[in-house]
Amino acid sequence: MAVLTYALALFSGILLALSFPRYGHPAFAWIALIPLLVALAGRAGTYTAFKLGLTTGVTYFVGTIYWTGTVLQGFGGLPVPLAYFAMLLLALYLALFPALTAVIMARLVQSAGVRALLLVPAVWVSTEYLRGYLFGGFPWVPLGNSQVTVLPVAQLASVTGVYGLSALVAFVNGALAWGILSRGRERIAALAAAALVVASAGTWGAMRIADGSLARQGPVIRIGLIQGNIAQEDKWNPSEARRIFTTYIAMTRDAVRRGAEFVIWPESSTPFMFEEDPVGGEMLRSLAREVRVPILFGSDQVERTGDAIRLFNSAFLLTPEGSTAAVYRKIHLVPFGEYIPFKQWLYFVSPLVDRLAEFAPGTSTVRLPVGEHHVTTAICYEVVYPSLIRDAVLDGSNLLTTITNDGWYGHSSAPYQHFEMASMRAIEQGRYLARSANTGISGIVDPYGRVVQQSAIFEQVGLVGEARILTGRTMYASMGDMIVWVSMLLTVIALVALRRRRTIGR
């Protein structure tokens, strides 16, 4: 029996991993939690429930962030065994949150019966949100993001954000598990509830897409996305600097000839520090004056205060006159990529610690003036934080952009996962989103999550496509993560009620 319960937990982890690209399909998410929930309903104690949840979580995250081992080995200088050990440690940490979900659900089911499975959306969303924010957070592949390409269902994110989609998918899993474990009318009620909720969400979403008003509002702007496809090992090779820079210059000229009114280069696209290299900096300013369009590009920035020096991963916006209109400094840095968390404890990854140039975080979003409009950008990984993009819209952003370098990830699932998480921000905020990636995926996504333009990975291409400048706000932009606070409140109420019931029983 114990073997069967762990097999069920393992199966849930596999289904969760298969809910995301590159190798999965969104349909798996609707049944992914059922095996784990069935196992928990078999009177699992707290310790057993924790181990079952941990089994599911480790499998889930090893299957989705396996590429971190390759990155640490290829670019962090770690030996292969140590690189993949570090990946397993990260997966084990992330698995603590599904494990906490399992513990809470096991206790609720033991107290209230299988009907308590209907509380799984509240518990799952509560722990998933914590995963995205504790210790800086790692909100990669939340359950709701599995549905971003299922456009009628994904429209719910404009009301509740991605965590509302997580709640929807978890509810269906809980209802189906309840149906499996019940008989007669309860089974019918459970299956009917799952069908009704999905049908309602999908019907409303299909009507929202059919209305399509956001794709007709606001002035049109033609955006040029420059995907230079510069190999990671060449980016800071001095002998490659001229080729890299002239490639971007030529591709920019071509994009403007094809009608681009605003050009976006990727993260860290200049083979020099823009403010530290007078020659390269002036050439870039001259390019802006020549093509007469704003250019947004990524470049590192140094700040000197007395003897102190701080390094920032930044985005610069040049005006058509060649002056610097604004600078944005990346706020959410990549752990083990741009800084080392708990560095004093991680002596066993000293090769990575010694090689890493640590960045300082920025402090706030910055409005980038493009003509009369306000644009904001997110650099690389920070686009996976819904609250950061919401803050940008509340600050007046009319168009979302993100610049990234996904060359680190090779041909793994990461570039596909990253693009889909960026796409979710467009639906949440009711904004067009333009993404420029060094090696792909670059593209433009409309406010309904429809991909207007998209490149392949590892191709050199300059995309030119249309977006619109929008000013309205979605319900999610106005209310934020209300679904999270409701979920946490319900979880706390359920646990308090459980505690009181046990106290009275004594």
State both tokens at 85: 């050990």
74 close to 151: Cβ distance less than 8 angstroms: no
Give the contacts of 396 (CB within 8 A, at least 6 positions apart).
Answer: 367, 374
44 close to 390: Cβ distance less than 8 angstroms: no
Match 């993404």 to its residue by tokens.
Answer: 435
Catalytic status, residue 380: yes
Catalytic status, residue 235: no
131 close to 101: Cβ distance less than 8 angstroms: no
**22: preceding bond cis by omega (within 30 degrees):** yes
Match 């952003």 to its residue by tokens.
Answer: 397
Reduce the DSSP state of residue 187 to 3 states and report it. helix
CA angle at 186 for the pair 180 and 189, rounded to the nearest 5°: 95
**Catalytic one among 235, 330, 338, 382?**
330
**Catalytic one among 267, 338, 382, 428?**
267
- Of 317, 442, 430, 435, the C-alpha closest to 370 is 317
Q: How does DSSP classify residue 407?
A: G
Q: How does DSSP classify residue 335?
A: B
CA distances from 40 to 105, 125, 157, 213, 496 (A): 7, 18, 29, 45, 20
- Of 456, 423, 459, the C-alpha closest to 441 is 456
Q: How many CA atoms lie within 13 A of 109 on its CB side?
A: 27
Reduce the DSSP state of residue 41 to 3 states and report it. coil
**Catalytic one among 261, 380, 420, 428?**
380
**φ/ψ (deg, to 5) at 115:** -60, -25
Active site residues: 267, 330, 380
